[in-house]
A and B are shown apart, each in its own frame.
Chain A
Amino acid sequence: EDKVVQSPLSLVVHEGDTVTLNCSYEVTNFRSLLWYKQEKKAPTFLFMLTSSGIEKKSGRLSSILDKKELFSILNITATQTGDSAVYLCAVNQGAQKLVFGQGTRLTINP
């Protein structure tokens, strides 16, 4: 069965800390891995990764994919209270179906 597993499920840190969120996957077909941030509404797109070892960066967020070990990490440096959200990892198996992990709930305390 195809699955995407995120860890930790929940994380509480202080403002200014750096966090690393993990996503491992086992799927029959792999086209790309995507990260989304979900606050109280729509998941908003962060990154799409297709190649191993190439870091994608956007401000304080960065992500990298390891296709040999079947995982990805999402790093957030100098966290702010506005980073508090559920972070979702999803794998596109081709045919456009996204398989989502259960999410990591990140809470940043001031």
Chain B
Amino acid sequence: NAGVMQNPRHLVRRRGQEARLRCSPMKGHSHVYWYRQLPEEGLKFMVYLQKENIIDESGMPKERFSAEFPKEGPSILRIQQVVRGDSAAYFCASSPEFYEQYFGPGTRLTVT
């Protein structure tokens, strides 16, 4: 059973470009979560999704950030018009119903 998959592992974008981060949950998991980790800080919750539904986006910045988890395919975290402050590691986690969350390897976004 493959773990949570994220791609790309590293992403470099210039200021103003768009970043798309992908997450495929573990097989059988219908809940997906996105977290952001700034250097030397803990993980901060961004958004919780189930298939085709955003359940909780209280940690997501109001502008430029969006997330989806379509019926088919991976979950996508999209950041438009990236700025230097968006540089961070973005982790996706998945769980089956209300159990422990399993994390992917993360996408390290660098904005130049």
Contact = CB atoms under 8 A, between A and B. Distances in A.
Report which residue of A4, A43, A90, A100 has the largest number of chain B beta carbons within 10 angstroms of its beta carbon: A43
17 contacts: A41-B105, A42-B3, A42-B105, A45-B102, A48-B99, A48-B100, A88-B43, A90-B43, A96-B95, A96-B98, A97-B59, A98-B33, A98-B35, A98-B43, A100-B35, A100-B42, A100-B45
Contacts of A31: 98
A33 to B, nearest CB: 11
Contacts of A42: 3-4, 91, 103-106
Contacts of A97: 45, 48, 56, 58-59
Nearest to B95: A96
Interface residues of B, number: 26
Given A96-B33, A97-B45, 15 more contacts: A41-B105, A42-B4, A44-B103, A48-B100, A88-B42, A88-B43, A90-B43, A96-B48, A96-B55, A97-B48, A98-B33, A98-B43, A98-B45, A98-B101, A101-B42
Nearest to A4: B42
